[in-house]
Structure 1
Amino acid sequence: MTSRVLEASGGVKQVICISWGTKYGAPFINRLFAMVKRNITPPFTFTCFTDSRVGLNPEILCEDLPPLDVVMPVNTRGIWPKARLWSQTLGSLKGPVLFLDLDLVIVSSLDEFFEIGDADDIVMAKNQTTPLERLGQTSLFRFPVGKLLPLLEKFRADPQGVADTYRYEQRFVSRNAPGGVSFFPRRWVLHFRQDCRWPFPLNYFLAPRLPKDARVVIFPRGLHPQHAIEGRYGEKGLVTTPLQHVLSVFDKKQRRKKAPFRYLRHYIRPTPWVADHWRE
């Protein structure tokens, strides 16, 4: 039986992403499309809103970035260019769409993300880093095209003020979305650092785990799937043996001002299951 969500989009599961600049580009977009295709039951569409179509898989539907004529806020951690997706229209798409960040890893079926709630609902992944706050995660969320327009108008009126007040775009969406937000089941969308890597000292002996009920694993704050595959903690992390990493705690330069215990916690072994899923 077709869900109310799919009825509003003609029975088609609509997946979208957004890309600008050179930080990610075609390799990330193509991997994301391949993961979606392996983990979704047709019919579906995959649309990328982008400023460059070079090198993209021809099966990907491409649309220009929606216009956003504002000066982007500074000194904030929020990914505010995502506000483009709050437009009244998104290309030719109508009804509910599922947004995915470019650097997440899909490990199981996406189908049920289109079965929860009603077509007009805004449904977010639960933010795991602030469990006492009713905060959503915009790495993965579903919304009907056009419903977030009031947020765009509020942001456009004072982008720096909004960013200073909320810091993260996901907090702005969580607290101001028309009609409020609901959440996907907590264990469907996992946080790699919090849910997959082992605490100290087990992180030196065991590779990060993949919980069996996971569907998507997100990689916020600079630790990308490729880093997990290689076994390094972020862009500036080094690939070392466990013993090398433990000994380097005495090297303040290599610790890069991290407290000793924090430095010891920030070690991961290579993670093969990420490579198994994060591929074209």
Structure 2
Amino acid sequence: MTTTSNAAADDGRVILCMKWGTKYGPEYVNRLYGMVRRHLSGDFRFVCLTDRSEGVRSEVECLPIPDLKLPEGLPERGWKKLTTFEADLHGLRGTALFLDLDVVITDSIDCFFEHPGEFLIIHDWKRPWRVTGNSSVYRFRIGAHADVLAQFRATQAEARKTFRNEQAFLSDVLHKQGKLGYWPREWCCSYKYHCIPPWPTNYWRTPIIPAGTRIVIFHGEVNPPDALEGRRNRAFRYVKRAPWIADYWRE
């Protein structure tokens, strides 16, 4: 499994991730690249949009995060992913699969580039009647949805009042355009909801990888290193170590 960053790959497959600030160190990018390399066949570009490239492995192309262009003083946190929809994203072309830094890939992700659909995202696990997707994993044609970002910039004050974050906003816009689709439910599981055994069995059963899972999503208070060691920020719910994370979450 190889990668390439030459012009011939510009119309091919691009893995996108984003890192800003200091919450996630370069090891998250490096391990994400390692997981993709092991689980995606053929050529691809791996691009990290970031404000800090120190320590990131050489196979990763580090490019600046585009300016969200919010009024001065307003926080961009919760909205930065919308910049992946720039009409000209650093000259990149092709189909992009965006992955959050803290996911764990457990099986082949070739299918994420093969599944039909114009824009694909994880469907909400807890409230499946909503259109809102979870943007830990989404796929799109680079430059094809510049109108989503343009609409946010034009209506950002109203959008920030109406929607909690970028995934709620983009899901609503693309749903109204008839372009929103979802991954098969079993492909992306929540560590919090699907891997941790229910009470009281969480006291003696180890967290699992549900059948059909290809990417484990970490949201809330637990990240991969916490799950590996059995740590939770909420002390009232015990969870055992998940040693299988070490098999996948590595460079």
Asked if TM exceeds 0.5, the reply is yes
Residue 10 of structure 1 deviates from its aligned partner by 6.7
CA contact (8 A) 2:100 2:137 kept: yes
Quote the residue 2:127 is aligned against: 130
Quote the residue 1:14 is aligned against: 14
> Are 1:152 and 2:149 an aligned pair?
yes
Quote the residue 1:275 is aligned against: 246
Structure 2: gaps of 5 or more residues: 1-8
**Structure 1 residues 267 and 164, CA, compared in 2 at 3 Å: closer, same or farther?**
farther
Describe the superposition over 1:25-52 as per-residue Cα deviations: whole angstroms up to 9, x where unpaired: 3111111001100101011111111111
Structure 2 distance, partners of 1:89, 1:195, is: 38
Q: Provide TM-score, normalisation by structure 1.
A: 0.80
Structure 1 distance, partners of 2:243, 2:44, is: 29
Quote the residue 2:226 is aligned against: 227
Describe the superposition over 1:163-217 as per-residue Cα deviations: whole angstroms up to 9, x where unpaired: 2211122111111024420111000000001111111000111111111310000
The aligned amino acid for 1:146 is G
The count of corresponding residues between Structure 1 and Structure 2 is 240
Residue 222 of structure 1 deviates from its aligned partner by 2.7
Structure 2 distance, partners of 1:73, 1:208, is: 39
CA contact (8 A) 2:107 2:213 kept: yes
Quote the residue 1:180 is aligned against: 179
Describe the superposition over 1:60-92 as per-residue Cα deviations: whole angstroms up to 9, x where unpaired: 112111122214756x9x721112112112223
CA contact (8 A) 2:18 2:48 kept: yes
Q: Provide TM-score, normalisation by structure 2.
A: 0.89
Structure 1 distance, partners of 2:203, 2:74, is: 39
**Structure 1 residues 36 and 150, CA, compared in 2 at 3 Å: closer, same or farther?**
same
- If you compute each CA radius of gyration, which structure gives the higher value, 1 or 2? 1
Structure 1: gaps of 5 or more residues: 1-8, 239-262
Moved over 6 A (4+): none
Structure 2 distance, partners of 1:169, 1:25, is: 23
Quote the residue 1:242 is aligned against: none
CA contact (8 A) 1:11 1:43 kept: no
2:102 is paired with a residue whose SS is coil
Structure 2 distance, partners of 1:105, 1:92, is: 29
Equivalent runs, 1:96-175 vs 2, <5 Å: 96-118=95-117, 121-175=118-172
Structure 2 distance, partners of 1:87, 1:153, is: 8
1:68 is paired with a residue whose SS is coil
Residue 11 of structure 1 deviates from its aligned partner by 6.9
Equivalent runs, 1:37-76 vs 2, <5 Å: 37-71=37-71
Describe the superposition over 1:91-118 as per-residue Cα deviations: whole angstroms up to 9, x where unpaired: 2321320000000100000100011115
The aligned amino acid for 2:26 is A
CA contact (8 A) 1:174 1:180 kept: no
CA contact (8 A) 2:134 2:167 kept: yes
1:186 is paired with a residue whose SS is coil
Residue 160 of structure 1 deviates from its aligned partner by 4.0
CA contact (8 A) 2:203 2:238 kept: yes
Q: RMSD over aligned Cα, in angstroms?
A: 2.0
1:187 is paired with a residue whose SS is coil
Quote the residue 1:25 is aligned against: 25
> Are 1:84 and 2:83 an aligned pair?
yes
Higher share in helix = 1
Residue 20 of structure 1 deviates from its aligned partner by 1.0
